[in-house]
Structure 1
């Protein structure tokens, strides 16, 4: 009996002070070749890896890795920009980059916003099985976002800077109202969420 208590106390002693360690990098060139290992701050319970790409006159590919408090693995497609995130909760588990978002259409279509109108349609791809609509707020600015997402993103209980997230099943179920906010603001806001949280 004393041996069991001793082993239990040793287990508590060695695990109580353990902090999660994750890889960290922010790359605007699409490569995390110089990622660094870091000890996560108190309260961080996940390691995250994010891949974001935009395909138009402002084309870019961003890779981000860091410690986060809360995270959902999944895919989002906002027309000309796509994102994928991978989340895990063990030491150094984010060594691999989040996968590139799929380009293989799955038959679903949703509305997306381009800064002038939300009546554009996008073909969802891969596992993007829901249409999504939300409001992204950064400071005093806000923008409506629409597009495709995986169910896991829709099931998120809390995503900072994003309010009123709603997902639906069925083609073009996320409405087509117009907006006047800048689409570039949208991309920066979503990237700031993943970089800051």
Structure 2
């Protein structure tokens, strides 16, 4: 009996002292060239790796961040001109690789490019929802549209800074209502012009 208690106590001592280790880096010009090992602080139970890609005209820029995370969900967002993919894992040094490049899944959503919000983008990987958000910043507001994983939609309730946020599941569902309202407004304007002149 004493041997069982001793073995149990040794197990508790060794497992309680083990902290998760993750790679940490910030690669602002692509993948991380220099990754360092980091012992995660208490309460950080996952490793994460995030890659962001931005297309500006003919050039593409990529950045990667790896670190410990208190809680993490593997997600993907695609705004046509930029996309972000985060992968999460919970074993030692499991974030050595960049998140895998997601492949098109057949779903399409509208996105905005600064001039128009009627462009379409092919959703990738786990992006199973279309999103439309109005972001308010410094007295200005901007509309963003694109594809996102369901977990992004579920998490928006806790994120501030959005004047409005809509998630929907059908193809091109993030623009049909605003397009039909614009079309209805245009028709009514034209009808009133012809009736009054």
In the superposition, the TM-score normalised over structure 2's length comes to 0.73
User: For residues 157 and 14 of structure 2, what CA distance do their matches in structure 1 show?
Assistant: 32
How well do the aligned residues superpose, as a CA RMSD in angstroms? 3.0
Matches within 5 A, 1:120-139: 120-134=119-133
In the TM superposition, residue 88 of structure 1 has moved relative to its aligned partner by 0.7
TM-fit CA distance, 1:94:
0.5
Highest relative contact order (Cα 8 Å, sep 6+), 1 or 2? 1
Evaluate the alpha carbon distance shift between residue 25 and residue 117 of structure 1 in structure 2; reply closer, same or farther with a 3 A threshold.
same
1:80 equivalent to 2:81? Answer: yes
Q: How many residues align?
A: 176
Does the C-alpha gap of structure 1 residues 136 and 45 become closer, same or farther in structure 2, counting only changes over 3 Å?
Answer: farther
Conservation of the 8 A alpha-carbon contact between 1:131 and 1:148: yes
Describe the superposition over 1:9-55 as per-residue Cα deviations: whole angstroms up to 9, x where unpaired.
Answer: 21211122322211011112212121111112232121101111112
Between the aligned partners of 1:2 and 1:144, the Cα distance in structure 2 is 67
Rate the CA distance shift 1:73–1:63 in 2: closer, same or farther, 3 A: same
Deviations 1:154-192 (A, max 9, x none): 4448765575655321112223659xxxxxxxxxxxxxx
Q: Which runs of 4+ in 1 moved over 6 A?
A: 137-142
C-alpha distance in 2 between matches for 1:22 and 1:134: 33
The 8 Å contact of residues 46 and 69 in structure 1, kept in 2 or not, is answered as: yes
Structure 1: unaligned runs, 5 residues or longer: 179-197
Does residue 62 (structure 1) correspond to residue 40 (structure 2)? The answer is no
Which has the higher Rg, Structure 1 or Structure 2?
Answer: 2
Instruction: Give the TM-score normalised by the residue count of structure 1.
Output: 0.73
Distance 1:157 1:175, change over 3 A: closer
User: Matches of 2:38 and 2:11 in 1, distance apart?
Assistant: 24
Deviation at 1:142, TM superposition (A): 6.6
CA contact (8 A) 1:136 1:161 kept: no
Consecutive unaligned residues in structure 2, runs of 5 or more: 180-197
Structure-2 change in CA distance of 1:143 and 1:11 (3 Å)? farther
Query: Distance between the aligned counterparts of 2:9 and 2:140, measured in 1?
Result: 52
Take 1:138 and 1:19, find their aligned partners in 2: how far apart are those partners? Answer: 39
